[in-house]
Amino acid sequence: MTSPVGLHRVVEPAGVLPQAAWRLDADPRIAPNEVRIRVERLNLDAASFRQLSEKHGGDGEKVRAEVLEIISTRGKMQNPVTGSGGMLIGTVEEAGRRSPLGLTAGDRVATLVSLTLTPLMILDGLARWDGRSEQVPCDGYAILFARSIAAVLPADLHPELSLAVLDVCGAPALTARVVAEHVARRQREGDPRPVNVAVIGGAGKSGSLSLAAARRAGAGRTVGVVPVAAERDALTAAGLATSVALADARDPVGLSTAVTTALDAPADVTVVCVDVPGCEHGAVLATEDGGTVIFFSMATSFAAAALGAEGLAADVTMLVGNGYVPGHAELALELLRSEPGVRGLFESRLAAD
């Protein structure tokens, strides 16, 4: 029987969902409710790429070899250390007659589900990738299930730019929802204070989109926190935040001080978009009691976040950004089109890669 969530593709261990499986069956022959994508580019999760690059000392050939080994061994791209994967773009080769995704052969699409649960086969040995960037040109196949999500690529944007945006499109959508809820609560309670938002990693892909989304959702003051002067200057020039602070997100007291100083108060909403571990306690400490911390980084230790909040007696709501909010792709692409600061940061990042 063909499962809408891909259980029939799980090789081992039996009985788990594809994301939790150690190995998937990436046979390109599709079931009636599946779709086969001819893959042209992967976008590795930032935390995964950083871990691989640091492990191999920046040696691109070794990074490339390990990514190939992971995919060939596991039938999907799932970093065994970070547990994360990424997403891809490609062209629909065949859609099963019972697929509910509404895709047809020839559609150029981006998958909006993780590579950690997507059956994947690489055919070209990643020969065109130097192992030094998150975006991976390639040739291969991927399989989408009935419960998968994909978006047809917009004609007005370069595919690489669309891929970079859609890779993190869950972040601005959830940020907008949470900020809007805080704004509405203040209004109901007759509280005139502005809603303050801090985005840790504000110059990155998810961070810049989240800053723009927070402002659109009614945030009064925003601060983008970055680790180095070059990112501070770039984010300042982009004009996406009320202020920009320089701090190491792994330093809880330093991060909290930087946020509180920039906002004249702790943040009501703190959004964590950095791709390094050890940022949990600082995010909690920087957030006002009754506030919300949203963790988007796959480098997050959720045990450290929960136990740290308990140890600090912090009355904060902590959310895991799961990458999906209805309408998330459309919102992210609209922010890219309408916010010159966001587009500039994305294009600069792609040029550097």
**What is the rounded CA–CA span in Å between residue 90 and residue 111?**
8
Span 46-74, mean pLDDT? 96
Query: Where in 45-195 does DSSP place strands (E)?
Result: 86-95, 108-111, 120-122, 135-144, 150-152
Q: Are strands 108-111 and 10-12 parallel, antiparallel or unpaired?
A: unpaired
Q: Are strands 35-44 and 23-24 parallel, antiparallel or unpaired?
A: unpaired
CATH number for the domain whose boundaries are 169-351: 3.40.50.720
The residue ranges of every structural domain in the chain are 7-153, 169-351
pLDDT in tens, 257-280: 999 999 999 999 999 999 888 999
pLDDT in tens, 209-258: 999 999 999 999 999 999 999 999 999 999 999 999 999 999 999 999 99
pLDDT of residue 276: 85
Is residue 282 helix, strand or coil?
helix
Span 148-177, mean pLDDT? 94
Closest CA to 9 of 182, 176, 146, 178: 146
pLDDT of residue 1: 61
pTM for this predicted structure: 0.87
